[in-house]
Amino acid sequence: MKRIGIAVLILSACFMSAAWGREATCRAHTPWAQFHRYDMQRWNKCEQVLNVHNVRNLTLKWSYATGYYLSLSSPAVASGVVYVGSFDDNVYALDASNGVKLWSYATGYYLDSSPAVANGVVYIDSLDNNVYALEATTGAKLWSYAISAGYSSPTVANGVVYIGSDDYNVYALDAKTGAKLWSYATGYEVRSSPAVANGVVYVGSDDYNVYALDAKTGAKRWSYYIGSFVDSSPAVANGMVYVGSEDHNVYALDARTGAKRWVYTTGYLVTSSPAVANGVVYIGSWDDNLYALNAKTGAKLWSYTTGGDVETSPAVANGVVYVGSNDYSVYALNAKSGAMLWSYKTGSQVYTSPAISNGVVYVGSADYNLYAFGLK
């Protein structure tokens, strides 16, 4: 399993420059854009409300019960709306302030993929073997494209939807029409979610490789053989690609060449996707720990032990790391020290990854609920 991608674009709040690698300019609100951004760093640089001093005061604002598990579908927040998929086959749009349902769209089967929201469209993959594009304000279907399974989450960049498939391919689809622009065949299932940076698509495959593909053509630039499943979604930062593997390791690869820069061994499988912030890589392991590693060297800075597997992917905002665990809890930790600042016990495992937007933490649980936590 992997921790799939979250996407949000809020033009009135925070906008990206045309150059992919430049920083966001923050204004009145704080977005959470596709697994925070299309480079998958999962770091909200715009968040100013929650911090290490006040996060201990988080309290439940609302919860919304779907009809079944919230498994791997992580919430996306855009223009005051929270989007999430459920094992009851539905995509939900909820009012971010109070959790009231605005609309739902029924696909043909479970949703393990996370929604991506861009330019007024919600993109999501379903286990009914389709990628859907839905109108963000109404839920009306704009188009669908048939691919196998639905574990990879879409990533949207420069008008293109990138996604992996169980039919062994990575796809690039036109975001407006759903037309296929290209596909690249790996040797096995692609359940990792693509990261896009500097004209390159980075993605893991269950053929034991990490791939770097030209974003325009799909041509392979390089691949790195790891030796086990790569369901973790890569993160790209400062010329490096960070990714976990079921061989128990976290890898740092040169983004241009694919050369291995360092490897860190945890105690068990790593299906969590990394967050990268301020020179630190944060990633979970099935050995029950969240790790903070030096991004340049891979040296361990700290680890925090939860009461269960950390399959979910961490999120970083304003000096705080948020992460869920199979011990039924979601945690807020000090990003520098790993000290626990806050936790909340849900009714079941927390597989989904948190999203932090406008001083609110959104996270789903296998107890069927999406939760929103804010300050008192």
* 263-269, Cβ contacts within 8 angstroms, sequence gap of 24 or more: 263/298, 264/291, 264/293, 264/298, 264/300, 266/291, 268/309
pLDDT at 170: 98
Q: What is the pLDDT, as a whole number, of residue 376?
A: 86
Determine the pLDDT at residue 234. 95
Domains of the chain listed by start with CATH number:
14-375 (2.130.10.10)
pLDDT (0 to 100) of residue 71: 86
**Over the chain (376 residues), what is each successive 10-residue block's mean pLDDT?**
36 33 52 60 84 97 96 91 96 97 97 93 96 98 93 94 96 98 97 95 97 98 97 95 97 98 98 95 98 98 98 94 98 98 98 92 97 96
3-state secondary structure of 56: helix
User: Which pLDDT value is given to residue 348?
Assistant: 97
CA–CA gap between residue 102 and residue 252 (Å, rounded): 41
Which backbone phi and psi does 314 adopt, to 5 degrees? -75, 160
pLDDT, position 42? 79
Asked if 100 and 63 touch (Cβ cutoff 8 Å), the reply is no
